[in-house]
Amino acid sequence: MRSSVRWAIGVAAIGAASLLASHVAQAQQGCPAEAALFHPCAQARAKTFRPPRTRDGKPDLQGFWRGPAYGTENVEEHPMTDDDNGGKSLIVDPPDGRVPYQPWASAVQKENRSKYVEPNVPCFPSGVPRSMYVPTQIEILQTSSAVLILFERAHTYRIIPTDARPHAGPAVALWMGDSRGRWDGNTLVVDVTNHNAKTWFDQVGNFHSPAAHMIERFTLVDPDTIHYEVRIDDPRVYTRPWTMAFPLRRNKEPGFRLLEEACHEGERNTDPLIRAGQRIYPGVSEEPRKP
Amino acid sequence: MVNTAAWDIQDHSGQLFPGLPARFGVPAGPGVVEGNEIPYQPWAQARKQENYKNRLTADPEAQCYLPGVPRITYMPHPFQIFQFPDRVVILYEYLHTTREIFTDGSRHPTLPVEFWMGDSRGRWEDNTLVVDVTLFTGETWFDRVGNFHSDALHVVERYTRTSPDHLLYEVTIEDPKVFTRPWKMRMPVYRRQEPNSQLLEFECYAYAREETAGDAK
């Protein structure tokens, strides 16, 4: 009741036209990009934003999108260097913005960076969630029984069935994981398992095991922003589940389409790295480590 | 796809595949080429023979490259078709290959650009999806025995639903640099019946790299 009184006073004071203008400006401005600020702002907006709907009544996530490309350098906060644009951590939980590794796993992450070819260099699929923030164009398409995500990066895709079918059998390991979706109110919730875990989260060797269980949430919070969250649970590697959150921003360029990135067909960087002594990352075994 | 066109689009016997144990040999099969004849120009016939001799390494598939159209259709891996008002999207298990076939009346781009999978523009003719594909590289083959084309390749595909679980897939191949006339392939496509069927992955070049990776640590 009090808020509606304030609303009426507000309209009287500043006028309907300027109120509308300020709302439009706010929507255009959107929530701040930095994950720690974006996340609570987007959560608040999700409570009131009414997303456009597809013909079968589901929130319409379709279109072209881009994630925060600096995350592929390092999902944690990292400085600008000759190689990196730098950026704040994509991790919103734990609040310190760090991957909560077990001690052995923290050592493995450091070793990864020095010992192995970064798995994106040979054009391997970027996996989940890295595909969502690797520097590329993303296209989302929806049918009544699936959500498709197409990535220009190395022409990969995800098919996310939303028809309640069970996951693939546990022996099936996939670069892009096995995704199953469902709608929870205005949010697409995707359960991702069956990782082959030969992908990294980023260029500095942040990693998970094949047992990782990820839960993603896609929520439109304004016409041109998806609030993307992914909770990563992998008791073999981390001390606790952890969560990344960031905006996917709409690409509104007229006539835009995904082109073909024939990545492997022209790739010439891996062989010199192998000759210099680096190895292809074999992943970590599914067995728990002895302390 | 359950035919043997991936090995050889023409009539062929069962045989060894060079360099592989017998159990990985070539399955026999009737061809999918109309009249079983590919009308190569004389120089191109010689080039095909050369390709055949060197097929173990010269086939672009040996490098795990994108296989082009129509070869992707009859690779021994499944694909899935999704339809939207302005496009048909075909996703292939092999290499996560993606095709967007625009059915919105748009034309091929006029830019000097080429694609391993070509540029696809579709239209509906009664019950048939007709897809015009151009702007190819000259670097893909039609099969594992060296049948090939140039960058002047022009493909017209016709997808016709012939029963609830079958498509008829017809292809016209035109390439004035390589052939003396257009020629056609034709084959049925069968719907997967397994209740748990889904596209998985065949990341060919990743497997090739993994050979050097050793065991998981």
Instruction: Give the residue ranges of DSSP H helices in chain B.
Output: 42-53, 55-58, 204-210
Partner A, chain B 12-41, Cβ-Cβ below 8 Å: none
Residue A19, pLDDT > 70, answer no
Name the residue facing B82 among A148, A155, A259 (closest C-beta).
A148
Does the domain at A31-255 match CATH 3.40.50.620? Answer given as no
Residue A1, pLDDT > 70, answer no
- Name the pLDDT band for B19 (thresholds 50, 70, 90): confident
Residue A28, pLDDT > 70, answer no
Report pLDDT for B213: 67
Name the residue facing B115 among A157, A260, A274 (closest C-beta).
A260
State the average pLDDT over residues A220-248: 98
Report pLDDT for B1: 66
Report pLDDT for B18: 86
Whether B95 has its CB under 8 Å from any CB of chain A: the answer is: yes
State the average pLDDT over residues A134-149: 96
Q: Which chain A residues are within 8 Å of B64, Cβ to Cβ?
A: 264
Report pLDDT for A16: 42
Residue A75, pLDDT > 50, answer yes
Report pLDDT for B201: 98
Report pLDDT for A287: 64
- Name the pairing type of β-strands A116-117 and A178-184: unpaired
Name the residue facing B213 among A156, A279, A285 (closest C-beta).
A279
CB contact under 8 A, B210 and A175: no
* Percentage, residues of chain A above pLDDT 70: 88
- In chain A, what are the domain boundaries? 31-255
Q: Which chain A residues are within 8 Å of B116, Cβ to Cβ?
A: 260, 262, 265
Which chain A residue's Cα is nearest to B135? Answer: A260
Residue A12, pLDDT > 70, answer no
The DSSP 8-state label assigned to residue B72 in this structure reads G
Residue B71, pLDDT > 50, answer yes
CB contact under 8 A, A155 and B115: no
Whether B62 has its CB under 8 Å from any CB of chain A: the answer is: no
Distance (Å) from the alpha carbon of A274 to chain B's nearest alpha carbon: 9
- Name the pLDDT band for A182 (thresholds 50, 70, 90): very high
Distance (Å) from the alpha carbon of B29 to chain A's nearest alpha carbon: 30
Q: Is the peptide bond before A129 cis (omega within 30 degrees of 0)?
A: yes
Q: How far apart (Å, rounded) are the C-alpha atoms in residues A254 and A5?
A: 42
**Each residue of A142-166: pLDDT tens digit?**
999 999 999 999 999 999 999 999 9
Least confident of A8-12, A116-120, B53-57, B83-87: A8-12
Distance (Å) from the alpha carbon of B56 to chain A's nearest alpha carbon: 18
Report pLDDT for A194: 98
CB contact under 8 A, A174 and B205: no
**Each residue of B76-116: pLDDT tens digit?**
999 999 999 999 999 999 999 999 999 999 999 998 899 99
Q: Which chain B residues are within 8 Å of A282, Cβ to Cβ?
A: 210, 213-217
* Domains of chain B (ranges, CATH numbers): 32-106+113-191 (2.40.128)
* Percentage, residues of chain A above pLDDT 90: 86
Residue A217, pLDDT > 90, answer yes
